[in-house]
Structure 1
Amino acid sequence: MSAVTLGSSELKVSKIILGCALYGSPDCLGRVQDEEESIKQIKTAFDAGINTFDTSNMYSNEQSEVILGKAIRQENLPRDRIAVMTKVFHPVSLDVDGCVDGEAAEHAGSHGYANQYSLAREDIFYSIKKSLERLQLDYIDVLHCHEYDASTPTHETMQALHDAVKAGWVRYVGMSNCRAWQFYVMQSHAVNNALTPFISMQNDYNLLYHQDEHEMLPTLKFLDVSFLPLSSLVNGAMSMPLDQQLALPADNMVPGGRQEWHNTIITRLEEIALQKNITMTEVAVAWSMRHERQYPETPYSSLSNPVGVGALILSGPTTRQLLDAIRGVDVLLTPADVEYLEEPYVPQKLRH
């Protein structure tokens, strides 16, 4: 699989990144893969050309990081040939069989989570230390802030991230789950104060939700930062024919509840897949990657790297979906295909 350079860095990642959110314990997340299946999938992904793995301290209450670290060791994945991404902000539950629910403010000063639930300096250093222990690694390739923290001064967060890079615990930093103005505030502080800037940004982005095209993607283009879309397959809804989805006992694939225009897009996705004799997954991936090739120039950009959609993070795919996604990277949709898929879309409120 071909690689892409993230933002203004020299870090190259595979165009499909294996998301490890659903590795761990069903006590924390309802639908997860057990350890044996998870390790097998990580090895399959690596053998297929995927060199980048995305996790978080909070996924399955730390078990995702533990499993990824075990897979790297057990399968002898060469450290110099893989990139590991994890996140900081949320705490790990003190109850090993549970998860922490609610907003940060509800836990920051009580319930035993002081200095474990924010982007404050102490929280960041503590989280990195524990993540490195669980992953059994000496450094993290990219540390993403899991979401925006309005309670911590931006200068404290960005200085702490910079110091973590200088200490060698982290190579690069990124952001996720925020709005364009929030990203701009944090990135501008780093750039203006000679601190380590973000090289990547993770947000939801798929055929059923692509509001970030209006503000976030142009902002990232201007700042020379790569976009790493989450949820490209929408819990599998972009990979399964509509009649099969509607026949499921519990229809919970589409976040926020299924609407008629969702079904129209899924039906059109299936039509294009049949016309091209490829899978729905391949079409969904090709649509998500289209900005890699078709991103509009701005009068202010003079970039060394083509910044737009850099790579897709696929969390919880079946092995078949994973292999289909790899093929989808090379699928080119026509402008007519894109217009047909996007025409039913209904604008939505921003999720973050």
Structure 2
Amino acid sequence: MEYVKLGHTGLEVSRICLGCMSYGQSDSGVMKWAWTLSEEDSRPYIKTALEHGINFFDTANVYSHGESERVLGRALRDFAKRDEVVIATKVYSPMRLGPNGKGLSRKAILSEIDDSLKRLGTDYVDLYIIHRYDYETPLEETLEALDEVVRSGKALYLGASSMYAWQFMKAIGLQRANGWAQFISMQNYYNLMYREEEREMLPLCKSEGIGVTPWSPLARGRLTRPWQNEPQTERAKNDALGDRLYEKSKKLDKPVVDRVLEVAKARGVSPAQVALAWMLSKPAVTSPIIGATKPHQLDDAIKAVSLKLSDEEIAHLEDLYEPHHAPEGYV
């Protein structure tokens, strides 16, 4: 495994981050999914990731109504020492219906960090991420509350996810002006099928020393197999966000997937390895967040770290891309 600093910090993270949205099951909560794994089935993936040098794990309070945090926390306590791992979790999404059940108010942030720490079974998280931009809360209120979380020792660093570049830079500017703890990472939607982040967000992050940890680097599996017009997997059949992300751009995306398959066949490796190796070739990208519910998915991600694509292969993968609109549900 290779390691790299997360943004302009001394924090070292593995080049692959294991996303834990698929781990843990819940019968209650606002956001739950039929395709997530039980705790018993989830633990081997976390253990295997650790055995292969992955030290970076990403979850969120909302994943299976907190069960993802519980599963991850128990597994890390059993399989690793706390100071050996980097734990990221998120806040924003609805944890309950009704007033104050979601968002980035001071009330939400200060209560949700405590709840996340209890579920994870730790005194602090390494990286606390705002899951989305909150249009209903003053930005200054959010940033000051996040600064308090860091100063209290409950989080070591702050991150953000899925917003426009101007919003991110505005937030960073306010943090700098007020002496508040600054964002060190951006978890954005980026892959071979959606490269709009190359226009503004990635250059901004590179300029300002922000680590980039893209989510869905394999486009929810669409970059790992021949094009399918109809959903085949259990997750795809029940993935409302996936429908919003990809439904309108099918004609633009299929040629890109075909190119991934072509390069993979020529190299004698899986399409997943090619798609991840392409992302890892980008200077702005620190650590893509991959999900794994089958052993080969984690194996492909680990092998991708050592797969180096040529300039010609990268150009071949990229030259059919056409501009996309920001998908519904992105921000």
Q: Which TM-score applies when normalising by structure 1? A: 0.85
Indicate the residue corresponding to 1:84 in structure 2.
87
C-alpha RMSD over aligned residues: 1.9
Indicate the residue corresponding to 2:118 in structure 1.
133
Name the amino acid aligned to 1:263: K
Structure 2 residue 218 is the aligned partner of structure 1 residue 233: yes
Conservation of the 8 A alpha-carbon contact between 2:65 and 2:95: yes
Describe the shift of the 1:22–1:247 C-alpha distance in structure 2 as closer, same or farther (beyond 3 A): closer
Indicate the residue corresponding to 2:267 in structure 1.
276
Please state which structure has a larger fraction of its residues in helix.
Answer: 2
Structure 2 residue 257 is the aligned partner of structure 1 residue 266: yes
Kindly state the Cα deviation for residue 7 of structure 1 after the two structures are TM-superposed.
1.1
Conservation of the 8 A alpha-carbon contact between 1:4 and 1:13: yes
Indicate the residue corresponding to 1:305 in structure 2.
none
String of CA shifts for 1:76-109, please: whole Å, max 9, x gaps.
x11111000000112323xxxxxxxxxxxxx5xx
Secondary structure of 1:230 counterpart: coil
Secondary structure of 2:128 counterpart: strand
Name the amino acid aligned to 1:221: K
Indicate the residue corresponding to 2:171 in structure 1.
186
254-263 or 176-185: which moved more? Answer: 254-263
Indicate the residue corresponding to 2:9 in structure 1.
9
Secondary structure of 2:116 counterpart: helix
Describe the shift of the 1:9–1:242 C-alpha distance in structure 2 as closer, same or farther (beyond 3 A): same
Conservation of the 8 A alpha-carbon contact between 1:236 and 1:317: no
Q: 2:303 aligns with which of 327, 335, 342?
A: 327
Q: 1:157 aligns with which of 128, 142, 165?
A: 142
Secondary structure of 2:63 counterpart: coil
171-180 or 150-159: which moved more? Answer: 150-159
Conservation of the 8 A alpha-carbon contact between 2:22 and 2:293: no
Separation of aligned partners in 2, 1:84 and 1:263: 35
Indicate the residue corresponding to 1:68 in structure 2.
72
Separation of aligned partners in 2, 1:26 and 1:209: 31
Conservation of the 8 A alpha-carbon contact between 1:53 and 1:83: yes
Name the amino acid aligned to 1:79: R
Indicate the residue corresponding to 2:246 in structure 1.
256
Q: 2:162 aligns with which of 177, 182, 192?
A: 177
Indicate the residue corresponding to 1:50 in structure 2.
54
Conservation of the 8 A alpha-carbon contact between 2:292 and 2:298: no
Name the amino acid aligned to 1:322: L
Separation of aligned partners in 1, 2:201 and 2:233: 36
Structure 2 residue 227 is the aligned partner of structure 1 residue 242: yes
Describe the shift of the 1:162–1:339 C-alpha distance in structure 2 as closer, same or farther (beyond 3 A): same
Separation of aligned partners in 2, 1:62 and 1:205: 26
Kindly state the Cα deviation for residue 224 of structure 1 after the two structures are TM-superposed.
1.0
Separation of aligned partners in 2, 1:172 and 1:318: 31
Structure 2 residue 36 is the aligned partner of structure 1 residue 32: yes
Secondary structure of 1:229 counterpart: coil
Separation of aligned partners in 2, 1:195 and 1:26: 36
Conservation of the 8 A alpha-carbon contact between 2:2 and 2:305: no
Indicate the residue corresponding to 1:291 in structure 2.
282
Describe the shift of the 1:216–1:249 C-alpha distance in structure 2 as closer, same or farther (beyond 3 A): closer
Kindly state the Cα deviation for residue 266 of structure 1 after the two structures are TM-superposed.
1.4
Report how many residues are paired. 317
Conservation of the 8 A alpha-carbon contact between 1:54 and 1:313: yes
Q: 1:313 aligns with which of 289, 295, 301?
A: 289
Name the amino acid aligned to 2:152: A
The within-5 A match list for 1:111-122 is 111=98, 113-114=99-100, 116-122=101-107
Structure 2 residue 132 is the aligned partner of structure 1 residue 142: no
Name the amino acid aligned to 1:139: Y
Task: State the identity %.
Answer: 36
1-10 or 168-177: which moved more? Answer: 1-10
Separation of aligned partners in 1, 2:222 and 2:231: 13
Structure 2 residue 199 is the aligned partner of structure 1 residue 214: yes
The within-5 A match list for 1:87-106 is 87-93=90-96
Separation of aligned partners in 1, 2:107 and 2:26: 30
Structure 2 residue 127 is the aligned partner of structure 1 residue 123: no
Describe the shift of the 1:249–1:273 C-alpha distance in structure 2 as closer, same or farther (beyond 3 A): closer
Conservation of the 8 A alpha-carbon contact between 1:21 and 1:316: no
Name the amino acid aligned to 2:199: H
Indicate the residue corresponding to 2:318 in structure 1.
342
Conservation of the 8 A alpha-carbon contact between 1:70 and 1:135: yes
Secondary structure of 1:40 counterpart: helix
String of CA shifts for 1:161-218, please: whole Å, max 9, x gaps.
1111111100000000111011001111111221110110001111111111001111
Name the amino acid aligned to 1:29: W
String of CA shifts for 1:241-276, please: whole Å, max 9, x gaps.
337x76938875673326233222112111111111
Kindly state the Cα deviation for residue 45 of structure 1 after the two structures are TM-superposed.
0.6
